[in-house]
Amino acid sequence: MEITDLDLARGAASGQEAAFEALVRRYQGTVRGVTRRLAPRPVEADDLAQAAFLTAWRKIGTYRGGSFKAWLCTIAYREFLQARRKQKPEVEFDEGAHVIAFDASAARMADHLDLDRALKTLPENQRICVVLCVAAGLSHAEVAGATGFPLGTVKSHVNRGVAALRKQLAPDNVA
């Protein structure tokens, strides 16, 4: 039987590094995925993901149950916001570098590229809501809690973002 997130978090809170390492293994894909979709470049994205996990380690005592993924993604989103405040100009999205990290077949890589390209075209707040809700699997309420957007705004951003992604990923539109 798999150990629950709450049990691992309690272990980590009591200083067990192995418990926290298990959580890192469990959620590294989700967190790195979120930061890669939000940050302009993969290198920065992994820095953000690392910073998010280190913050989670320091703050693990404040986790009181509920969705650990939502808790972690909220931290990752805040790390992204902090980093963005420090950065002055918007850096161009480096598509080529993004592709290198994916070890997948050419067909899957093409899918990833299409998805990345489609995500890039969304307005930022819409992209944030789609990334947290659709990609990371947070509920609308959890995304509202993480971003501070009103619940109705989150739903609206997600619906519009999903519609735009579907439209762009439709076979007729894929390059």
Partner 1 sequence: MMEHEERYEDLTALFEAQDEALQSEAFVTRVMTPINKRSRWRTPLLFGAGGIGIGAALSQISGVLDLLKSRTPELDITFDTVPAAEMSFDMQSIWIVAAVVIMVACAAIVATERA
Question: Residues interacting with partner 1, by CB under 8 A?
Answer: 13, 15, 17, 20-21, 24-25, 28-30, 32-33, 36, 46, 49-50, 53-54, 57-62, 101-104, 108, 111-112, 115, 133-137, 139-140, 162, 165-166, 169
In the complex, minimum distance from the CB of residue 162 to partner 1, in angstroms, rounded to a whole number: 6
C-alpha–C-alpha distance, residues 62 and 117, integer Å: 37
Q: What are the CA-CA distances from residue 147 to residues 16, 66, 69 (Å)?
A: 30, 17, 15
**Beta carbons within 8 Å of 7's beta carbon, 6+ residues apart:** 19
User: Cβ closer to partner 1: 94 or 111?
Assistant: 111
Work out how close the CB of 126 gets to partner 1 at its nearest, in angstroms, rounded to a whole number.
13
Closest separation in Å from C-beta 165 to partner 1: 6
Smallest gap from Cβ 124 to partner 1, in A, equals 18
At position 82, the amino acid (one-letter code) is Q
Name the helix (H) or strand (E) containing 82.
helix 68-86
Supply the minimum distance, in Å, between the C-beta of residue 10 and partner 1: 12
Q: Please, what is the end-to-end C-alpha distance for the chain in angstroms?
A: 45
Of 32 and 157, which has the nearer Cβ to partner 1?
A: 32
Q: Which CB sits closer to partner 1, 82 or 159?
A: 159
DSSP string for residues in 28-52: HHHHHHHHHHHSSSHHHHHHHHHHH
CA distances from 131 to 12, 60, 65, 141 (A): 27, 24, 23, 14
Residue with smaller CB distance to partner 1, 89 or 174: 174
By C-beta, is 65 or 137 nearer to partner 1?
137
